Amino acid sequence: MSHADAFLGGDHAKAKSHIRNLIRIANADGNMDEKEYKLLIRIARKFELSEEDVKDVMEHIDSYTFSPPANKEDRNLQLYNLGRMVMADGVQDDAEISKINRFAIGLGYSSGYASELVEKVISMINEGFASDDAIDAIQQFVDSKS
């Protein structure tokens, strides 16, 4: 079973929290383009959320609160997906990088290495790492900092 298949265990509140964070990254540069929206829908479907669920989160984003990941794998997958959203339009926007760095700290990564970890995640995405490999590499990075 892939990390994505195991993520959240069907918890729609946690899935919507993750979608909320992805929307905030996509909108950090002022707009969500078509590539970002398509990625958002693809990720949502993996977590058994419909396009209508996504639209509801978009319309009522401030009513959805952050729900922390249940475990390391969920946390690593969320960071990986946030990185995918940053790079969905092929542009590494400063506002998106600033926001993903804040999300990394909010996800529980140390502020001492969060920026370096985000750079690594973006690099893995640009290099075409498979999600499971990237998620494992994120954990190896975190373990090396402990």
* Full pLDDT tens readout for the chain, 146 residues: 344 444 445 578 899 999 999 999 999 989 899 999 999 999 999 999 999 999 999 999 999 998 888 899 999 999 999 999 999 999 899 999 999 999 999 999 999 999 999 999 999 999 999 999 999 999 999 999 98
What is the total count of domains within the chain?
1
Q: What is the pLDDT of residue 10?
A: 52
What's 87's domain CATH number? 1.10.3680
Domain range spanning residue 65?
Answer: 3-145
| Amino acid 55: pLDDT | 97
DSSP for the chain, please give it. --HHHHGGGG-HHHHHHHHHHHHHHHTTTS---HHHHHHHHHHHHHTT--HHHHHHHHHTGGGPPP---SSHHHHHHHHHHHHHHHHTTS---HHHHHHHHHHHHHTT--TTTHHHHHHHHHHHHHTT--HHHHHHHHHHHHHHH-
The pTM (predicted TM-score) of the whole model is: 0.90
